[in-house]
């Protein structure tokens, strides 16, 4: 992998801006920074692929929250603030919980070799592994076990989403956003829409 220097990042930024302006001088003036995004995306911090590039969306179309292994934590004030703002103020029509294959957060939970705060953070995923141990352990490779746990993790995070007071309130009013479960496959660049069990309370 090529590791750019910090100076190279800023140089690349200027080069990218110059390319955009050469192609379309009004590019930045035409970006609607006031428009409300229709999508809330809850993804993993270590996801290596740019969401706007993968989905061919424009800046501002997707409201983004990321953390290690795309967790929906009912005690995470940061996440709950994002969710509340997205649902109540932005009135997003869709919420996407997105995991990815080869996730290092899932790997850390499965292998149990982490130390420090991340060990606490991924503990719910470790609990999920113990619940689904029989299903996961019969897979033949470590990569397959990590990837299946990553899929199950998305399903559980969606279940958690339905348990937040914010989504429960929307469901009572019959105006809840549609909730989707996605997996990004970094080896193909493809996004898979995974089937989610019906979580309604």
* CB nearer Zn ion, residue 109 or residue 167: 109
User: 74: which DSSP letter?
Assistant: T
- Note whether 105 binds Zn ion by CB under 5 A: yes
Residues in contact with Zn ion, shown as a per-residue x/- string from 147 to 186 under the rule CB under 5 A: ----------------------------------------
| Choice from 40, 42, 44, 158 touching Zn ion (CB under 5 A) | 44
Report H helices in 75-175. Answer: 77-84, 104-111, 117-121, 123-131, 133-137, 142-163, 165-173
Half-sphere exposure of residue 124, counting CA atoms within 13 Å on the CB side?
17
- What are φ and ψ of residue 31, in 5° steps? -65, 125
Measured from the CB of residue 47, what is the shortest distance to Zn ion in angstroms? Answer: 6
Asked if 42 is part of the footprint of Zn ion (rule: CB under 5 A), the reply reads no
189: left (phi over 0), alpha (psi -120 to 50) or beta: left
Minimum distance from residue 89 beta carbon to Zn ion (Å)? 28
Residues that bind Zn ion (CB under 5 A): 44, 46, 103, 105
């Amino acid at each position: 992998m090529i590791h750019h220097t910090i100076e190279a990042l800023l140089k690349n930024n200027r080069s990218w801006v110059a390319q955009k302006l050469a192609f379309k001088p009004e590019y930045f003036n035409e970006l609607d920074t006031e428009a409300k995004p229709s999508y809330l995306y809850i993804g993993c911090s270590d996801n290596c692929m740019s969401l706007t590039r993968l989905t061919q969306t424009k800046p501002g179309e997707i409201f983004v929250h990321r953390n290690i292994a795309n967790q929906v934590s009912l005690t995470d004030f940061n996440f709950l603030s994002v969710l509340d703002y997205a649902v109540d103020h932005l009135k997003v029509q869709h919420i996407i919980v997105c995991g990815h294959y080869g996730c290092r957060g899932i790997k850390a939970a499965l292998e149990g070799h982490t130390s420090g705060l991340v060990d606490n953070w991924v503990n719910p995923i470790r609990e999920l592994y113990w619940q689904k141990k029989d299903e996961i352990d019969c897979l033949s490779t470590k990569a397959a076990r990590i990837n299946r746990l990553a899929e199950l993790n998305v399903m559980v995070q969606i279940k958690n989403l339905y348990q937040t007071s914010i989504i429960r309130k929307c469901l009572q009013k019959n105006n809840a956003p549609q909730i989707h479960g996605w997996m990004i496959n970094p080896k193909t660049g493809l996004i898979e829409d995974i089937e989610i069990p019906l979580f309604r309370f």
